[in-house]
Amino acid sequence: MSKALAMQGASIDFVVPYRAEHPQIDFMTIHSATELTPLERYGLGAYDSKAVIDAKLSDADINDLKDMRGVQKRYVKFVENLVTVSVPDAIHAHDWLTMEAGIRAKELTNAPLIVHVHATEFDRSGSEMGNPLVHEIEQQGLMMADRIIAVSNITKSIIMQKYGISEDKIEVVHNAIDVTDFNDGYQYDLRTYAYLEALKDEGYTIVSTITRFTVQKGLTHFMKAAARASEKYDKFAFLLAGSGEQRDELIALAAELGIADKVFFTGFVRGKQWRDAYSVVMSSVSEPFGLTALEAAHHDNALIITKQSGVGEVLKSIFRYDFWDIERLADQMVGIAASPALQQSLKQNVHQEYDRISWHDVATKCLNIYNSTLAGATL
């Protein structure tokens, strides 16, 4: 998205919380707020808020870079310095990790703050509140924001309902994908797939899901639907790619439902293996967007996506269902397996659709939001 923004004339100072070389990136200025390596950054658990220590920023140790709060404090300091040197026209902050820095930059510069919401604590935790500290940071960031960009209507309604933000402050800008990102050195795992290949040769339909195995992904519903679908159609194989806390529970559930021989756990893999599936299911209970669905579309799959997943708002050539509606999902799986015309139509049409969604359009919408916010701002 940054690249698309730059191509449309925006000048970007991009602050990352780690030390990194980005030799291919010449369209914006990248600033490193810390000397952490990207690997260490992942160890902080930015996307797993349960690992976050409950600390006010003022209590955090700015020198403790093993602690997320320490990194965030350093990040804020860095941004404070940066905005005094290079005063921005607009501040674009993403999610709770950088909201505090965004608020601080706004205080110092009076520039409008645009908060881009890719996921809320509500989505990450799958429960009402999640981590109260994260929720509070989000609440503050959303309230201080001049404009909010949500990645889907689902996210927009969560921001309205769970955070009490008024509708007119929120714009929906859906994500896009860059297909050139998909060549990621994928290794074909012959041990797992030799068997699936054999099943395919015998006319089996492979239904896969690629995700973290957590409650919010709705995989127990998926598994029950798999069992229900198998009552009506014999030749199914279900491939669960990923890992997570629910893995053992799901293995046990498959056995309990009597479909253990049809279910394959492959660990986390990306990219090309989807080419070998027929249908990909996104069973999330709450999914702000779900870029993996666009990736699956790129690899010629028929998609079944819950109505609670944002990506479903931008694709028409898909099946949708409510995450709890096991019968509906099972019916759709059987339909795809039993009707070649349906399967082909879904695959071909979604393939034509997904790459019309471009980052260029996303950037245009963001620039419009910057400009309209600047024009309307009372400074």
Partner 1 sequence: MSKRGIVLYLHVHQPFRVRQYSVFDTANKHDYFAEPNYDNDRNNERVLRKVADKSYRPMNSLLEKLLVQYPDFKVSLSITGTFLEQAEMWAPDVIESFRRMVATGRVEIVSETYYHSLAFFYSRQEFERQVEMHRTKIRELFGTETKVFRNTELAYNNELGKWAEGYGFKGILAEGWDPILEWRSPNTVYRPAGTENISLLLKNYHLSDDLAFRFSNKSWTEWPLTADKYNSWVNASAGDQPLVNLFMDYETFGEHQWADTGIFDFFDAFVGDWLKDDSNTFYTVSEAIEAIPPVGELSMPNTVTWADTERDLTAWLGNSMQQEALRHLYALEHDVMRTDDLELIADWRKLQTSDHVYYMCTKWFTDGDVHAYFSPYESPYDAFLFYINAVRDIRWRLHHYHGTGSLNG
Selected binder of partner 1 within 29, 86, 339, 368 (CB under 8 A): 339
Nearer to partner 1, 44 or 296 (CB): 296
Nearer to partner 1, 80 or 331 (CB): 331
Does 344 sit near partner 1 (CB under 8 A)?
Answer: yes
Does 346 sit near partner 1 (CB under 8 A)?
Answer: yes
Closest of 30, 15, 28, 137 to residue 74, by C-alpha: 15
Q: How far apart are CA 196 and CA 264, in angstroms?
A: 9
Closest of 127, 120, 129, 126 to residue 96, by C-alpha: 120
* Region from 107-115, 153-161, 337-345, 360-368 binding partner 1, contact rule CB under 8 A: 337-345
Taking the complex as a whole, the smallest distance from the CB of residue 368 to partner 1 amounts, in Å, to 22
Taking the complex as a whole, the smallest distance from the CB of residue 320 to partner 1 amounts, in Å, to 7
Query: What angle in degrees, to the nearest 10, is found between the helix axes of 132-144 and 95-109?
Result: 40
Q: Which residues contact 241 (CB under 8 A, 6 or more apart)?
A: 208, 209, 210, 211, 266, 267, 268, 269, 273
Q: How far apart are CA 305 and CA 308, in angstroms?
A: 8
* Region from 84-92, 212-220, 332-340, 361-369 binding partner 1, contact rule CB under 8 A: 332-340
Does 355 sit near partner 1 (CB under 8 A)?
Answer: no
Nearer to partner 1, 23 or 340 (CB): 340
The two tokens of residue 103 are: 């608020």
Selected binder of partner 1 within 32, 243, 345, 364 (CB under 8 A): 345
Nearer to partner 1, 213 or 354 (CB): 354
* Region from 53-61, 130-138, 341-349, 370-378 binding partner 1, contact rule CB under 8 A: 341-349
The two tokens of residue 326 are: 């096991």
Nearer to partner 1, 191 or 356 (CB): 356
Taking the complex as a whole, the smallest distance from the CB of residue 329 to partner 1 amounts, in Å, to 10
Nearer to partner 1, 11 or 348 (CB): 348
The two tokens of residue 246 are: 């629910």
Does 330 sit near partner 1 (CB under 8 A)?
Answer: yes
Does 84 sit near partner 1 (CB under 8 A)?
Answer: no
Does 334 sit near partner 1 (CB under 8 A)?
Answer: yes
Place of tokens 């195995």: 213
The span from the first CA to the last CA of the chain, in angstroms, equals: 28
Place of tokens 């700015």: 62
Selected binder of partner 1 within 22, 50, 66, 232 (CB under 8 A): 232
Nearer to partner 1, 345 or 364 (CB): 345
The two tokens of residue 116 are: 């881009």
Does 278 sit near partner 1 (CB under 8 A)?
Answer: no
CB neighbours of residue 372 within 10 Å? 13
Selected binder of partner 1 within 32, 157, 220, 349 (CB under 8 A): 349
The two tokens of residue 139 are: 């609440």
291 to 119, 182, 184, 302: CA distances (angstroms): 12, 12, 16, 15
Does 202 sit near partner 1 (CB under 8 A)?
Answer: no
Identify residues 309-328 at the interface with partner 1 (CB under 8 A): 316-320, 327-328
Does 119 sit near partner 1 (CB under 8 A)?
Answer: no
Place of tokens 């100072």: 13
Does 227 sit near partner 1 (CB under 8 A)?
Answer: no
- What is the edge-to-edge ordering of all strands in the sheet holding 113-117? 91-94, 113-117, 147-150, 170-172
Q: How far apart are CA 375 and CA 322, in angstroms?
A: 41
Does 341 sit near partner 1 (CB under 8 A)?
Answer: yes
* Region from 98-106, 177-185, 243-251, 334-342 binding partner 1, contact rule CB under 8 A: 334-342
CB 279 within 8 A of CB 238: no
What are the DSSP E strand ranges found in the chain? 13-16, 29-32, 91-94, 113-117, 147-150, 170-172, 205-210, 236-241, 263-267, 279-282, 302-306, 319-321
Nearer to partner 1, 142 or 336 (CB): 336
Taking the complex as a whole, the smallest distance from the CB of residue 257 to partner 1 amounts, in Å, to 16
Residues that bind partner 1 (CB under 8 A): 228, 232, 316-320, 327-328, 330-332, 334-335, 338-342, 344-346, 349
